[in-house]
Copies of this chain bind each other. A is one copy, B any other.
Amino acid sequence: MSVPERLLLGSGPSPVPRRVLDALAQPTIGHLDPVFAEIMDRCRARLRDVLLTSNDVTLPISGTGSAGMEAMVVNFVRPGDRVVCGVNGLFGQRMADELGRNGADVVVVEGEWGRAIPTERLLEAVDDRTAALFVVHGETSTGVRQPLDGLADACRAVDALLLVDCVTSLAGAPIAIDAEGVDVAFSGTQKCLNAPPGLAPLTVGPRALERLRPGRSWYFDLTLLLGYWTPGEAARAYHHTAPINLVYALDEALAIVLEEGLPERWERHADAHEELLDELRELGFERLAPEGEQLASLLCVRVPEGIDEAAVRRALLLRHDIEISGGLGPLAGRVWRIGVMGEGARPEARERLVEALRAELA
């Protein structure tokens, strides 16, 4: 099998460094092997460091990012729970769908696609019947960053949980689970962590743990998963066979993030975003998100009239081996979503993309 090298500058997966692919291809060993237990523990410690949390319950769920979403809902939302759900893009919609399927009383706070939801609108919806507030920190469909300021205090005041999707923001835009008072968050490996897709980091704080009540899902049952991932003094208990090689890759990808340092990495992403935006503006593109609401790791730009966006994307992929993503939902055909994620947030990536774009748009 031989797969072409693409420069992955879409909405994810992002460029996976050879070092991570080499870790991925280490020999498969058993899920109860003491060597694997060490890797699991190290991977969890690194995840905590990247999430800026001391939560002991921090682990990769065995599925892609949306598996993290489902794990969050089935363990921390009960049928009938009033859950306020911010929706200003596809991933907020997806969560509202998931909550509804699981019997929650979903209170959608709609926001404009391409804008952050005003904090006061979210706070207005949180009342003393509210069990949880959910927001998408980094909306992958629009390139918008949702501020978390004030949300945790409002949730604590009414004894509600703050639930956050940080799939596309983690390690690419500032987020600090403990300092920002997030109770449960999930992420993905194939965005700013630059690991292959297939795992969903999940972190759970003490307030949420008190309400852990797994429901209909056996696969995502956190009480069972903890017996395997965080056994404490007990013997590690088999739940399901962890995706061993993906854990190797995640562990190595986290090491790379921590070697760089989070503040340095965040700054690099912010700079790479601005530099790319400057170049794209010269070509007639404008960012969807207004200044101050942008997500560093995903630059979503309006495609100017007269450009066949699908044809240009296809040419970028097939002639230049560069992937960028089109729009989703109401933005389909109208925007491009350009990943600025980890190794994709480097000058070389920007230069290659801009050069190819200039050639195709000429």
Contacts and interface: CB of A to CB of B under 8 A. Distances in A.
Nearest to A67: B219
Interface string A145-186: 000000000000000000000000000000000000000000
A23 B5 CA distance: 14
Q: How many copies does the complex hold?
A: 2
Nearest to A241: B197
B1 A198 contact: no
A16 interface: yes
B218 A101 contact: yes
Nearest to A214: B101
Interface string A22-58: 1111111111011100010000000000000000000
Interface stretch (A130-138, A203-211, A246-254, A282-290): A246-254
A8 B25 contact: no
Nearest to A251: B1
Interface in A65-105: 65-67, 69-70, 94, 97-98, 101-103
A6, A28, A218, A248: residue with the most chain B Cβ atoms closer than 10 Å: A28
A24 to B, nearest CB: 6
A25 B22 contact: yes
A227 interface: no
A64 B241 contact: yes
Contact of A30 (B188, B243, B323): B323
A107 interface: no
A143 interface: no
Contacts of A187: none
Given A22-B25, A63-B67, A69-B218, A197 B1 contact: no
Contact of A323 (B33, B101, B252): B33
A138 to B, nearest CB: 15
A190 interface: yes
B63 A62 contact: yes
Nearest to A218: B98
A24 B241 contact: no
Given A2-B26, A62-B63, A196-B245, 18 more contacts: A3-B39, A3-B248, A6-B30, A13-B30, A15-B28, A21-B25, A21-B26, A21-B245, A28-B190, A31-B197, A33-B323, A34-B317, A98-B218, A102-B216, A188-B241, A196-B244, A197-B245, A246-B246
Interface of A: 1-6, 8, 10, 12-13, 15-16, 21-31, 33-35, 39, 62-67, 69-70, 94, 97-98, 101-103, 188, 190, 196-198, 215-219, 238, 240-246, 248, 251-252, 317-318, 323, 328
Sorted nearest first, the 8 A-B pairs with minimum C-beta distance are: A198-B243, A25-B25, A3-B26, A16-B28, A66-B240, A70-B219, A196-B245, A197-B241
